[in-house]
Amino acid sequence: MDKRFNIIGAIFGQRGSGKTEYLKGNKSLKLEGIINIYPKKNMKVLIIDTLDHPSYRNIPVLPKSKFSNWENGIYRVFTTREEIPKLNHFINSSPSVWNTCLVYEDAYKHTSKIIDKSLIQLMADSKQKNIDIVFMYHSFAQAPPDLYRYLDFIELFKTKDSPQCRKNYMPGYYDFAEKIYNEVKKNPSPFFHKMIDTGMLC
């Protein structure tokens, strides 16, 4: 990601497919991890979850009291599913979110059917705030239909469903998504992944 696109993307992969390592990195596997690239570009990372996820406990929690003075680094916050819209509003109104990558872990917990207006506003303001937004899902079906028209890319790991279940919501890129899905499915490595470019990055 050498060029800034203010991208909105998703990472799809079933449990054990390697998507967390792809995001966080893994020294033993020599994986740098997406979130570790941002500080090198003088950008911040905030991982948003609905629980104290064991996989992220090496990443410090950002207290709300220190949010307004947050200038750098990789942090996480977690709150209940019901409170996510309030958190989105808080993030969107805070000037400290400029130059930040927002990662929504297990995003299906709060976007399973529709996208909350608070999240739509965040995505709409991404260019003005110079932010990237990444959603984590286990499958195509977990992502709400309306989200697909906002996505610039999907990083696809092995899933138990196919893009067929969201065919009508992939304007102009369904055939390519199906092609990439078949490549990932047929690859013998359980951790193989490949990007679906929705055409918005061109």
Q: Which two tokens stand for residue 38?
A: 């941002």
* Positive or negative torsion for Cα 155, 27, 107, 134: negative
Which pLDDT belongs to residue 2? 44
The domains of the chain are located at: 8-197
Q: Are 88 and 59 in contact (CB under 8 A)?
A: no
pLDDT of residue 202: 45
For residue 136, what pLDDT is reported?
96
pLDDT of 65: 86
Contacts of 10 (CB under 8 A, 6+ apart): 107, 134, 135, 136, 137, 143, 147, 151, 153, 154, 155
Query: Taking the CA of residue 34 as centre, how many other CA atoms within 13 Å lie in the half-sphere pointing to its CB?
Result: 23
List CB contacts of 77: < 8 A, sequence separation 6 or more.
Answer: 46, 47, 48, 49, 61, 62, 64, 87
Region 8-197: CATH code: 3.40.50.300
* Cα gap 73→36, rounded to integer Å: 9
C-alpha to C-alpha distance for 12 and 80, rounded to whole angstroms = 22
DSSP states of 58-80: TSPB--GGGGGG--SSEEEEE--
User: The pTM is what?
Assistant: 0.93
Residues 133-192: pLDDT tens digits? 999 999 999 999 999 999 999 999 999 999 999 999 998 899 999 999 999 999 999 999
- Which stretches in the chain have pLDDT values below 50? 1-3, 201-202
